[in-house]
C-alpha cells in the first residue's frame, strides 16, 4: 500500500505535534474513498483525509494560492492492501470523531455499507461515526459536527457535482482522476503490474486527495467555518501543497499530464 502525507506525525494528525500547523489550531477534516470492481465484488482503491485549519469563532476566507492543509492518502497497489487501507481510514475516523473541528464525507452511508462488506474485523471508527450519522442534528457531547456533502448543501449524487455547484473548479485532470471508469481502469492496470505503475498510483492519489479536499471545503462552508470566491481552483491548491509527493502530476517536470486510461 502506498501512503503519502505532508504531516510530521501522520498517524496522529490531531496530536500535540500538528506540524505544519500550530499546536492549538482546530482542524476541519474531509474524508473520501474510491472503489473498483474485482470479480464482481467491490474493493477499495484509495482513501484520503484532508485537514484544513479553521478559526474558533469566525469563518476563514480561503484562496487556492494560500491555502495550507494537511493530508494523508493511501492507494492500494494489490488486493492484499485492502485490510490496511480500510484500517487506516478507520483509525483516522476514530480520532476525527473526537478531535476534529468538523468531519465531512460525501454520502458516508454508501461508503460505510460497502466498507463493512469487505472488513475483516472490527471497525470502531466506521461503526461509531455510522451511528452518529443517522441523525446529524443530535450530537454527543465532545464529538465533532458531521456534514454529508451529498445532502447538507443540496442534493448531489456525485462529489464533483457538489463541488461544481458550490464554486469549486476541479479542472479537467482532477475531474478525470475521479471518474469511475478511469479509477476502474487504473485499478485493473495496477493489478497487471503496468509499466506506468508510478503514474497510475499518483493519479489515483491525486484524484482521491482532490475529492477529500473538496469535501473538507464544502463541509467548512456548511458549518460556516470556510468561505471562498468562485471559482476556487482546486488543482492550484493541490499543486502547491502536494507537488513533492505527486511529482508526475504536479511537479516542475510534469508538464501537461496525460490522463491514463481515458
In the predicted model, is pLDDT for residue 147 greater than 90?
yes
pLDDT score, position 56:
87
pLDDT digits (tens, 9 = 90+) for 88-128: 999 999 999 999 999 999 999 999 999 999 998 999 999 99
257 against 24, higher pLDDT: 24
Domains, the chain, in order of start with CATH, read 2-250 (3.30.420)
* Residues whose CB is less than 8 angstroms from the CB of residue 9 and which lie 6 or more positions away in sequence, other chains included: 15, 17, 19
d(CA 110, CA 42): 12
Average pLDDT, the chain: 93
pLDDT score, position 18:
54
* Residues whose CB is less than 8 angstroms from the CB of residue 228 and which lie 6 or more positions away in sequence, other chains included: 61, 62, 63, 167, 168, 217, 221
Report pTM: 0.94
d(CA 174, CA 180): 12
Strand positions, DSSP E, 62-189 = 70-75, 102-105, 146-148, 168-169
* C-alpha cell belonging to residue 219: 463541509
- The number of helix segments (H) and strand segments (E) in the chain equals 9, 10
Phi, psi values for residue 195, rounded to 5°? -65, -25
- Contact at 8 Å (CB) between 173 and 259? yes
- Contact at 8 Å (CB) between 85 and 47? yes
Amino acid at each position: 500500500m502506498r501512503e503519502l502525507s505532508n504531516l510530521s506525525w501522520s498517524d496522529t494528525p490531531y496530536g500535540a505535534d500538528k506540524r505544519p500547523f500550530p499546536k492549538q489550531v482546530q482542524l476541519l477534516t474531509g474524508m473520501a474513498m474510491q472503489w473498483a470492481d474485482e470479480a464482481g465484488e467491490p474493493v477499495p482503491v484509495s482513501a484520503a483525509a484532508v485537514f484544513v485549519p479553521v478559526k474558533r469563532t469566525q469563518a476563514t476566507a480561503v484562496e487556492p494560492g494560500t491555502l495550507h492543509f494537511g493530508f494523508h492518502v493511501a492507494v492500494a497497489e494489490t488486493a492484499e492492501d485492502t485490510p490496511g487501507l480500510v484500517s487506516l481510514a478507520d483509525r483516522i475516523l476514530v480520532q476525527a470523531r473526537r478531535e476534529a473541528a468538523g468531519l465531512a464525507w460525501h454520502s458516508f452511508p454508501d461508503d460505510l455499507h460497502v466498507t463493512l462488506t469487505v472488513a475483516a474485523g472490527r471497525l470502531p471508527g466506521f461503526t461509531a461515526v455510522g451511528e452518529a450519522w443517522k441523525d446529524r442534528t443530535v450530537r454527543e457531547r465532545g464529538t465533532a459536527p458531521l456534514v454529508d456533502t451529498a445532502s447538507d448543501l443540496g442534493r448531489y449524487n456525485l462529489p464533483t457535482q457538489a463541488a461544481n455547484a458550490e464554486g469549486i473548479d476541479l479542472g479537467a485532470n482532477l475531474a478525470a482522476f475521479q471518474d469511475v471508469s478511469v479509477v476502474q481502469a487504473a485499478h485493473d492496470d495496477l493489478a497487471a503490474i503496468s509499466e506506468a505503475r508510478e503514474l497510475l498510483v499518483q493519479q489515483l492519489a491525486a484524484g482521491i486527495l482532490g475529492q477529500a479536499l473538496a469535501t473538507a471545503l464544502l463541509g467548512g462552508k456548511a458549518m460556516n467555518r470556510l468561505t471562498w470566491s468562485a471559482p476556487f481552483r482546486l488543482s492550484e491548491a493541490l499543486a502547491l501543497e502536494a507537488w513533492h509527493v505527486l511529482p508526475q502530476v504536479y511537479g516542475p517536470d510534469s508538464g501537461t499530464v496525460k490522463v491514463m486510461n481515458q
